[in-house]
Chains A and B, each alone.
Chain A
Amino acid sequence: MTSHWFPVASGDDLAPRHVFHTALHGQELALWRDDAGLANAWENRCPHRGVRLTMGANLGTELRCQYHGWRFSSGSGQCAAIPANPDLTPSQGLRVRTYRCVERYGLVWATLGDAPEDIADLGEAPWRPLRALFVEAPLAVIAPHLPQQAGLALFLQPVAESTTVIHGLSADASLSLRQHDEALTRLRDRIEGGAP
C-alpha cells in the first residue's frame, strides 16, 4: 500500500515560489516547484532542527528553512548553504529526505516507496483537474461512495489514517468546474455526516 503512487496535489497547486503542504500515509510532505518547473516532493522536516519546511520560503532554486535559514537544493535536497557558517561547504549527505514524484494529467503523483510507477493510463483526453477535497474519513470508507461516471476520474490520497483527499479529473467539458465541485462537496458532506 505505501509503495503505491498517489496524487498529492494538482500541478497548479504548486504555484511559483510556493511551498505546498500535504501528507501521505501520515508522512508530511513539502511540495515545491523550482523556477525551471521541476516539482519536488520532500519530507516536511529540516534535517537541522526538524522544523517544518512548509514554513520556509521557495527561493526558486532552493528551499530556505524559516528557522536558521539553511538552504536546500532543488532535485537533490542537498544542503547548499548555512548562513551561520558562510565559509563552510555543507557536507554531502546533509540533505532533506526526498521522495519520487511525477506529473501526469495535471496532477502531481508521489510515492513513499521505491516501487515502479503504477499510475493508471488515462489516455489522451484533455483532463482538467478539479478542486481537491480534504475529507475527514479513512480511504476505505470513502472508496465505495465514489461515483462511476464517464469523463470523470477520481483518485484517493491517504493523508493519514482518518483523513483522505479526493482528487478529480474531468474530461467532460459540458460540466463546469463549479458543478463538479458542488457534487464533490455534497459527497464529502454526506460521507462526513456518516452516510451509510
Chain B
Amino acid sequence: MISLAGSLLSRETYRIRLLLDLAGLAYETLDGADLRIEAEGERFEDAWRALSRLAPPDWQANGRWFAFARRLAASPTDTALFRDLDQHLWFGEHEGSPFLCGDHPTVADIGCFPEVMMSEQAGISRMPYPALRRWCDRLRRLPGFTVMPGIFTLPA
C-alpha cells in the first residue's frame, strides 16, 4: 500500500494526489505532516505501469513543459507564465492537442495544474487566459480527478 503524508491544503501534496489518482494507484493519506510518500510491499512494476500512462509521448520534445511546471511552481504569480500556457494551449486546441504534450494528460499537466487552479487565491484572475480555463475543465473531467478544498470536479 502506498501511503502519502502531507498537508491536504498544500499544492505539493495535491500534485502528488492528482498524480496517483489519475494513474489509478490506490493510496492512503495522512494529513498534517511533512510531505512524505512510502510504498510498503508495492510491486515497482505495477506502479511504473500505472504511472507510464501519464508519460509524455516524446520526453525530448515535451521536455520544456516539465521545466515549465517547475518554473510555475517556483513563481506561481508570474502572469507571463500564464500567458505562455494560454497561448500554447490555444494552438493545441486548434492542432489536436488538448493537453500540454498532446492528446492525453501527462505529468506536465499535473505539474502545472495546482498553481493554475489556485491562482485566484493568489490574486490572479484566469479571465485573461481562456484556453487555460478550458484546459482546467478538461482535467477536471478526467476519470479519477481529485478534488481538494476549493477545487471541484465537473459533471461529464
- Interface residues of A, Cβ cutoff 8 Å to B: 9, 12-13, 15, 17-18, 20-23, 28, 57, 59, 66, 131-132, 134, 159, 163, 177-178, 181, 185
Which residue of A17, A66, A132, A159 is within 8 Å of B130 (Cβ)? Answer: A132
- Of A57, A66, A159, the most chain B CB neighbours within 10 A belong to A57
Does B127 contact A131, Cβ atoms closer than 8 Å?
no
Residue pairs across A and B with Cβ atoms less than 8 A apart, 27 shown, are A9-B130, A12-B93, A15-B134, A17-B137, A17-B154, A18-B133, A18-B134, A18-B137, A20-B130, A21-B127, A21-B130, A21-B133, A23-B127, A57-B155, A59-B155, A131-B87, A131-B90, A131-B91, A132-B130, A134-B127, A159-B127, A163-B128, A177-B91, A177-B94, A178-B91, A181-B87, A185-B87
Contact A134 B128 (CB under 8 A): yes
How many Å lie between the Cα of A177 and that of B95 in the bound state?
11
| Known A57-B154, A134-B128; further 4 A-B contacts with Cβ < 8 A | A12-B93, A28-B127, A134-B127, A185-B87
Chain B interface category by residue count? 10 to 19
Does the CB pair B133–A20 fall under 8 Å? yes
Known: A177-B91, A177-B94. A66 touches B152 (CB 8 A): yes
Q: Smallest Cβ distance from B13 to chain A, in angstroms?
A: 23
A82 to chain B, nearest CB (A): 18
**Residues of B close to A21: CB separation below 8 A:** 126-127, 130, 133
What is the chain A residue whose CB lies nearest that of B156? A17
Shortest beta-carbon distance, A136 to chain B, in Å? 9
Query: Which residues of A are found within 8 Å of B93, using beta-carbon distances?
Result: 12
Q: Among residues 124 to 156 in chain B, which have CB atoms less than 8 Å away from a CB atom of chain A?
A: 126-128, 130, 133-134, 137, 152, 154-155
Distance A131 CA – B91 CA, assembled complex (angstroms): 9
